[in-house]
Structure 1
Amino acid sequence: MIEKERILIQSPLFAFLLWGVSWFFLSSSYQGLGLVLAVLVFLRLWQIQNKKEHLLLVIVCLFASFLLLEEKKIIEAPFQEQEVSWLVKPKWETKEEKENQTSLIVEYKNQEYQLWLPKKKVPSAPFSYWQIKGVVQNGQKARFQHGFHECLYFRGKHLAGKIMGKDVTVCSPFLPSWHQKMQLWIQKKVHAFPSCTQKYINQLLLGKNMTEGEVKKAYRQLGVIHLLSLSGLQVLLMVWVVRKILWQCHLPREITFFCELVLLWNIYWFCGQGIGIIRSGLQYIFLRIFQHFSLKPTLYETWGLAFCCHWLFCPSLGLQVGAVLSYLLSLFAYFCFYEKEKHGSLLFFFLLCLVMSRFFFEVSIWSTFWNFIFAPLFTYLLIPFLFGYFFIFSFFSFAPLQQLVENALRQLDQLVIFGNQYNFSLTLKPFSSILLCLCLVTFLWYWQRRFFQQKTKGLWWMLLLLFILNPCTLKKEMNVIDIGQGDAILFSGSHYAQEHYLVDCGGKIGQQGPKREDAERNLIPFLKSKGVWKIKTLFITHADWDHMGNMVALAKNFQVEQVMYSLGCDKKGTFAREKAAWQKIQPKTKFVPLIAGKQEKNQTLTWKTLWPKEEGSGRNEDSLVLQVHLGKRKCLLLGDAPKEVENQLPSLTTDFIKLGHHGSHTSSDENCLRAWKPKIALISCGYHNRFHHPHPEVLAVLKKEKIPYYRTDLQGTITYQVSLLGKEKIQVAIP
């Protein structure tokens, strides 16, 4: 093997191995397969020269993978919450504002928690103890597969949980450390800049996440969100400046290195302990250690060592999107700009598909083009400029220049938003662990070939294999989606070009203003995680907001062939407004009113309308009642139909029943349940909802009739699957 190829696969191979094996170890059923994969790759590496150089890193990789077994225990830990009244020590420098809430880190008994308070209740006493009354939680589990896992997020941030504060009282002051004073000073200096400049300084220099909004969404959909993880470049700039100054003073190499370590440690504390800062610092330390022993490391070696060392002490690193994007971008920069590798953009697109599908469920077709434009802009212009600009104008003020910079950054935001308007994103299901690791091993095998002409062919075959195999499914599914206090049920087919039917789309009660749609937190990510980009039919059972409030959000994100609704729904103002807004976004969508007797049969499912029998006005009494056949099973979907409607339905039997009105006592008549003989009841309601659904009376009826039930408030999304061979399975997100 020639030298260039040997160096090329050396460290990235360990990183990818660590990534793939770690994902295997997250699932107990794949532990043995993950270990076999690790051994096979290790044996392949053993054939490479200088095998001793690889042994330590392989051991680190395997050790880090075994540490993920501890992470699994955290995932399986039960959710807990309790009312508390604690005396906490706030870390004012961690304060962030999101919508009408403020979050910051507080310390209690040597453990750190994320505190959430309404903006109006946050005291202006940064260096005083606070008496907090509220509810402490150890972290919610993901409400659906591939969803946001709060436990792992807290683990990655080294937090014990979060506190939902209700009341706060300022107590005695404490003596702050000089680190805290300096961080507060930096924070005040940042707030002196205009808003858009603040946003980029916080994100790129201090490692603080940009507030969710139109700009951040545009960065994500263009496939350049990883550029906002470049917060480590300023570390190298500062260290380089200090090193040059110390060299001019003719200080010994050992003293210079010690001063650099002190500087790196302080940067780590001052700049928010961001992932990019840790990555850059570790890479620089390894580089200097190699140089001390007169070795000439490659950038791949320092990158791989930093990656493995970081993962060793933080096993959940690979589950943090910021960490993966930061390391991925730095590898891409080395690969394309330093080695000038002609296949670099293709490799980057390959990696981007894997990462974006895992975290965001979509990737921009034009991501390579936008990265070609924005990567040099951020790396060589924006970050160095912001570093010098912030350092100088923290002490001086020159309003015309500051306004000029602010306008330039606003134009950058507008450019990103404009580009996103003409962007085309490809929705991708998250790749399975088996498919992911097989593709990585295949790619590495191709890359080690001596024949360069085969590399491009191998990469293209790899991409083609990923895009062809990933959407394939051999199962039909029904998903009762956990969207809080509302209804949304997805039916999916079992063939390659899946057909998707959505019954209701949820909507947060009381949220009908310009705030971020509730759908962006649950419904849209779930649908994209299932590979949905087109919906054949959207059923709206009636005009209550918790059943149709996310219609516009759906229209912005998915193609919908037709919307079917109970006859008379458009008499209600809320539905009429949503319908008008929808038709402006997707004018080709058909709106079809339904009445009892309408039915349809296709290869995905068969459905029949049982109610309403006449035109209504969108009330609960006018709810669309559907009987759906999925495979050999029958599902009865009651919407919000009350008992009076249930008693007027035709005689029938069913296997699954979605209880009416989220389990309210106004629905689920005992005699009807006895006549329908359902095998399983499904209850869609929000966690700790203000209506106290499901009602104890309904649960008592289910227990009396010996009908097992599933609840989205306690168990998250409920999934029923049936394979082509007829094998059935019910899964819940939270066992």
Structure 2
Amino acid sequence: MTTLTVVIIFLGLSVKAKSYSTCDLHNDILIYPDQINIKDGFASGEGKIGKNKILISMPANKELELALKRNQILYLSNISAEVKPLDPPTNFGQFDYRNYYRSKNIYERLSLKNYQLRIKQANFFDYLHVFRNQLKNYFAKLPRIVSFMISEMILAENPDSKNKIILDNYRNLGVIHLLSISGLHVGLYTVFISTICTLLKRDEYETLFICTTFLIAEIFLADFQAGFVRASLGYFLGKVFALGNIPLAKGDRLGLVTIIHLGIKPTLFLNCGAILSYLLVLGLEIIGEKNPLKQGFFLNLLTTPILLNNFYQFNIFTIIFNLMIVPVFNFCLLPLTFLGAISYKFLPAVTYFIEKIFTLIMNGINMVAQTKFGMIIFGKITWWQTIFLLIISSSLIIFYHNKKIRNRLCLALGIGYCSIFFSIHFPLQGQVSIIDVGQGDSILITTPLRRKAYLIDTGGKVNFGKKKSEPQFNRITLPYLNAQGIDHLDGVFLSHQDADHIGDLGPLLEQVAVKKLYFAQGLNENPSFIKRIKGKVNHTKLIPLIAGNVVKEEGIDLHTVHPFKPGTGKNEDSLSLWFRLGGKSWLFTGDLDQAGEQRLWQHFPLQVDYFKLGHHGSKTSSNPEFLHNINPKLVFISAGRNNRFGHPHQETLETLQTLKIPYYTTQDSGTITWTYSPFTQKNKFSTFNQGPLHGTN
């Protein structure tokens, strides 16, 4: 049985998760110190109820903090908690955490309100968790980059969110696999241990035992990272069969490793990292090519469809970057990482010197990565396109030496990629999408064919107190744009200064090219706004708008219908836009209050097909008379789930009910998208969570 056959058969079986039953809160929750993090008085991480793994979050009292510092294994009892299934993504292109945790057999999350602690008598397995936590705490004391490197190499985790830029840089250059503990590290570890054993005159069986023991321990420390488990199983089976003089082809060994790994973890291939790990090894066996350039080219052919399906972009110079960075990593970064981690205990000056070396190297990598040289925002490809490209790429590698077949496959592959690329970047449909950015506003407008893309507001999280988090733009809007192959915006319209509307303007301007930035007159005099855009609009044209101005763009005219005088960016100064697309009219009014709505109607007696309710459905907006006058067929509400403002307000919903105006909210539906085509009179609404909306044309 060939490796490819085994992989295909068990790929189908891998999606079958282990049986799972809803957790019983009458049972105690077992938590290990290495699986819980405490930040700002709040604890979160993984726990276990019976056989079920769960995500937990809870207030961290002093007793809990002290117990975790002492590396104690704990039971949580007398629990008062809310049990919820893991949330699905609500936007196209958004990372699917539910599927990610499903690959780890985690299906539910608990928000604990009250609990009591009880210390568990530790067994041998528990002490492994204690040891892992001790390493975790020790690594956290190291200088930041050394800490990051050793944590990735040993624990397969990032100890600090500040290091995300390093991960992004490696990912953009196509060398992220260097930071994923895998076959490379298994090879280095076993060669090092085998060399020591040879010097100590240990025989092959003793060497195998020592190497296997070390690998098992490291598998646990690395939290069963798929690539490392695969490589460790491959090493063990290869040595056992060799010592037993049992012939075993490399392909059969990989097939056997796949069977064993899937037997241990049936949800293995729900994880993109696991798919890439096995695909790369399978590719190496199919290729059998020693030339590093050819080998790199073929491996990129195999992995690109998976990358486009999951990350929507790739770098055409990945092969070159690998040839440049891999030697630096293997012969400089990796040995210095371990030296820096060990020397910190005895000679901290050495560790800080290594940190300086790492800083120089990382700064160099950052400079190259930030240019985005060779980066192509391709867009998300479908599962069937992924399979098609994988089949053609695999066939090209297998039949590469047959010139006639090779030429045909190259042509098919080229046509396939070009067809998919043009279908994404020159779409037959345009859209208006109310993106689910939580408690905020962000609306994407695109035109068909020679696509133009515009954004009304950027969304942004309102931070209460000093606590700050990663911009929502990075998690929601940027993937949403990239998944559609959008790498620049022709225009961004800003309604007013509130953080939930333009809080993510800075991250947007830093990562996406914006040709024109539109805003209501007077906002450009606001110190807060000036601070947001300072140093970020060198190549962006700033255009203030006042009622009566018309922004004429290819395929769309956007009419400014508010404000009537310059303001400072308050709710009552909200920039309001009316436009027509595909025979339908739209109105967006930001957080305009009821008085402003009345002024708007007096100057512009519009009737609209679709209207996004002002101020997230607040009772301060959506005047009943105004709604009656504009007479929308359908309205939309952009508001966060369980938001602290109670949006949409009941008064507003009752107004809609009285006027018999149907509505949809991003709270329930996720992103709401309207599509239209210049080739047909048909247009349609769809929601990310609920599918097509019928009867809305």
Give 1:503 deviation, angstroms.
0.7
Q: Give 1:295 shift.
A: 5.0
Residue identity opposite 1:476 in structure 2: G
- Once the two structures are TM-superposed, the CA of residue 328 in structure 1 deviates from its matched residue by 5.3
State how far apart, in whole Å, the 1-side matches of 2:563 and 2:148 are: 52
Q: Is the 8 A contact 2:493 2:518 kept in 1?
A: yes
Alignment deviations for residues 469-498 of structure 1 (CA, whole Å, 9 cap, x no partner): 222422111111111111100011221x41
Q: Distance in 1 between matches of 2:563 and 2:140?
A: 58
Q: 2:66 corresponds to which residue? A: 124
Give the alignment partner of residue 373 of structure 1, picking from 324, 329, 334. 324
| Counterpart residue number, 2:496 | 542
Paired letter, 1:64: L
User: Deviations along 1:687-723, whole A, 9 cap, x unmatched?
Assistant: 1111010111212222333332221122211111224
Percent identity of paired positions between Structure 1 and Structure 2: 25
Deviations 1:550-596 (A, max 9, x none): 222111111111111122222332223224x1xx2332321111122
2:397 aligned with 1:447: yes
Letter of the structure 2 residue corresponding to residue 397 of structure 1: F
Change (3 A) 1:503 1:193: closer
Give TM-score scaled by structure 1 length. Answer: 0.81
How far is 1:85 from its partner? 9.4
User: CA contact under 8 A between 2:286 and 2:397: conserved in structure 1?
Assistant: no
CA contact (8 A) 2:175 2:322 kept: yes
Matched, 1:175 2:118: no
Q: Distance in 2 between matches of 1:357 and 1:162?
A: 30
Q: What whole-Å deviation, never above 9, does each CA across 1:4-29 have from its counterpart, x for those lacking one?
A: xxxxxxxxxxxxxxxxxxxxxxxxxx
Q: Distance in 2 between matches of 1:108 and 1:268?
A: 23
In structure 2, C-alpha distance between the alignment counterparts of 1:599 and 1:109, rounded to whole Å: 63
1:703–1:176 Cα change, 3 Å:
farther
Deviation at 1:457, TM superposition (A): 8.3
- Pairing 1:646–2:588 present: no
Q: Which residue does 2:383 correspond to in 1?
A: 433
Aligned pairs (5 A) from 1:154-165: 154-165=101-112
Query: 1:466: how far off?
Result: 1.6
Q: Distance in 2 between matches of 1:533 and 1:142?
A: 22
Question: Where does the alignment leave 5 or more consecutive residues of structure 1 unmatched?
Answer: 1-52
SS at match of 1:218: helix
1:113 maps to 2:54: yes
The alignment partner of 1:402 has SS state of: helix
- Supply the AA of the counterpart residue of 2:11: A
| Residue 376 (structure 2) pairs with residue 421 (structure 1) | no
Q: 1:507 aligns with which of 449, 460, 466?
A: 460
Question: For residue 145 of structure 1, what is the aligned residue in structure 2?
Answer: 92
Q: Is the 8 A contact 2:442 2:456 kept in 1?
A: yes
Selected match of 2:521 from 537, 554, 567: 567
In the alignment, the residues of structure 2 paired with residue 188 and residue 595 of structure 1 have an alpha-carbon distance, to the nearest angstrom, of 57
Kept after mapping to 2: 8 A contact 1:152/1:316: no
State the alpha-carbon separation in 2 of the partners of residues 353 and 167 from structure 1.
48
Distance in structure 1 (CA, Å) of the matches to 2:433 and 2:56: 33
CA RMSD of aligned residues (A): 3.7
Q: Single out whichever of 144-153 and 176-185 deviates more from structure 2.
A: 176-185
Q: Which letter does structure 1 place at the counterpart of 2:596?
A: V
SS in 1 for 2:33: strand
Distance in 2, matches of 1:617 and 1:625, equals 15
Q: Structure 1 residues 172 and 229 mapped into 2: Cα distance closer, same or farther (>3 Å)?
A: closer
Amino acid at match of 1:197: V
Q: Match for 1:129: what amino acid?
A: Y
Alpha carbons 1:207, 1:231 under 8 Å: kept: no
Alignment correspondent of 1:364: 315
Match of 1:48 in 2: none
Using the alignment, how far apart are the partners of 1:108 and 1:548 within structure 2? 42
* Residue equivalent to 2:689: 734
* Alignment-derived partner of residue 671 in structure 2: 717
Instruction: Quote the offset at 1:601 in angstroms.
Output: 4.9
| Contact 1:134–1:164 (8 Å) recurs in 2 | yes
Runs of 5+ consecutive residues of structure 2 not aligned to the other structure:
691-697
Q: What are the Cα deviations for residues 438-487 of structure 1, in whole angstroms up to 9, with x where unaligned?
A: 22222233334364556488558635742552224221111111111111
* Contact residue 92 and residue 105 of structure 1 kept, 8 A: no
432 and 312 in structure 1: CA distance in 2 versus 1, 3 angstrom threshold: farther
**Residue 311 of structure 1, CA deviation:** 5.0
Map 1:394-409 onto structure 2 (within 5 A).
Answer: 397-409=346-358
Contact map agreement 1:146 1:358 (CA 8 A) in 2: no
Query: What is the alpha-carbon distance in structure 2 between the residues aligned to residue 354 and residue 309 of structure 1?
Result: 26
In 2, Cα distance between equivalents of 1:612 and 1:308:
66
Letter in 2 for 1:430: K
Q: What is aligned with 2:238?
A: 287
Measured in 2, the distance between the counterparts of 1:710 and 1:200 equals 46
Say if 2:33 and 2:133, in contact at 8 Å, map to a contact too. yes
Whether the aligned pair in 2 keeps the contact of 1:235 and 1:281 (CA below 8 Å) is yes
Q: Which amino acid aligns with 1:622?
A: D
In structure 2, relative to structure 1, the CA distance for the partners of 1:687 and 1:448 (3 Å cut) is same
Residue 706 of structure 1, aligned match among 660, 673, 677: 660
SS in 1 for 2:490: strand
Give, in whole Å, the separation in 2 of the partners of 1:436 and 1:269: 33
CA contact 1:206–1:231 (8 Å) conserved in 2: no
Distance 1:286 1:604, change over 3 A: farther
| Letter of the 1:153 counterpart | Y
- Offset of 1:235 from its aligned partner? 3.7
Q: 1:222 corresponds to which residue?
A: 173
Alpha-carbon spacing, 1:264–1:306, altered in 2? closer, same or farther (3 Å): same
Going from structure 1 to structure 2, the CA distance change for 1:553 and 1:308 (only over 3 Å counts) comes to farther
Q: In structure 2, what is the Cα distance between the partners aligned to 1:356 and 1:638?
A: 39
d(CA) in 2 for partners of 1:250, 1:549: 63
Asked if 1:674 corresponds to 2:628, the answer is yes
| CA distance in 1: counterparts of 2:147 and 2:511, whole angstroms | 30
Would the alpha carbon gap of residues 100 and 323 (structure 1) be closer, same or farther in structure 2, given more than 3 Å must change?
farther
Aligned position for 1:469? 420
Residue type of the alignment partner of 1:633: K
1:607 counterpart SS class: strand
- Aligned partner letter, 2:648: P
Which one of the candidate residues 464, 478, 488 is aligned to 1:524? 478
In structure 2, the CA distance between the partners of 1:117 and 1:339, relative to structure 1 (3 Å rule), is farther
Partners in 2 of 1:475 and 1:446 — Cα distance? Answer: 34
Distance 1:640 1:400, change over 3 A: closer
**In 1: Cα distance, 2:260 partner to 2:333 partner:** 29
- Show the counterpart of 1:617: 568
SS of residue in 1 equivalent to 2:155:
coil
Q: Secondary structure at the match of 2:346?
A: coil
Q: How many residues align?
A: 669
User: Kindly tell me: are residues 453 and 107 of structure 1, through their superposed partners in 2, closer, same or farther at Cα, counting changes over 3 Å?
Assistant: same
Please state whether the residue corresponding to 2:354 is helix, strand or coil.
helix
User: 1:279 Cα shift?
Assistant: 1.7
SS for the counterpart of 1:161 is: strand
Whole-angstrom CA distance in 2 between matches of 1:204 and 1:333: 23
Change (3 A) 1:225 1:270: closer
| 1:208–1:274 contact (8 Å) kept in structure 2 | no
